[in-house]
């Protein structure tokens, strides 16, 4: 919650679910952009030894490291069942889901 600028009470009790989803989606997008930029920068630095990269089978930045979202064909829900149970517990103090 602190990573996106909200305190616990505000995040859990004052925001609506659609607002929380928008916040989480925006945070994930920002993190993915950062990871992609970091991977690209690493690849560009490594290009100084291009012959060694080619021998190792690295022909693009994505060959350095594959991120979980890049080849994920199935659509994920916003939260897993375990995460939903934890959120429900925090909000209601129970196991209502």
Whether 44 maps to a domain, the answer reads yes
Whether 97 maps to a domain, the answer reads no
Cα 65 to chain centroid distance, Å, stands at 15
Which residue segment(s) compose the domain that 72 sits in? 2-92
pLDDT at 61: 82
- Looking at the structure of the chain, the number of domains it has is 1
Nearest-angstrom CA–CA distance, 27 and 33: 10
Nearest-angstrom CA–CA distance, 46 and 43: 5
Whether 19 maps to a domain, the answer reads yes
Which tens digit of pLDDT belongs to each residue from 24-59? Answer: 888 888 888 999 999 888 888 887 767 777 777 788
């Amino acid at each position: 919650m602190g990573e996106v600028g909200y305190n616990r009470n505000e995040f859990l009790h004052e925001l609506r679910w659609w607002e929380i989803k928008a916040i989480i989606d925006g945070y994930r997008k920002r993190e993915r952009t950062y990871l992609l930029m970091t991977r690209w920068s690493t690849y560009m630095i490594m290009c100084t030894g291009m012959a060694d990269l080619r021998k190792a089978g690295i022909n693009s930045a994505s060959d350095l490291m594959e991120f979980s979202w890049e080849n994920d064909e199935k659509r994920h829900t916003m939260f897993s069942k375990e995460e939903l149970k934890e959120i429900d517990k925090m909000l209601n103090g129970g196991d209502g889901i």
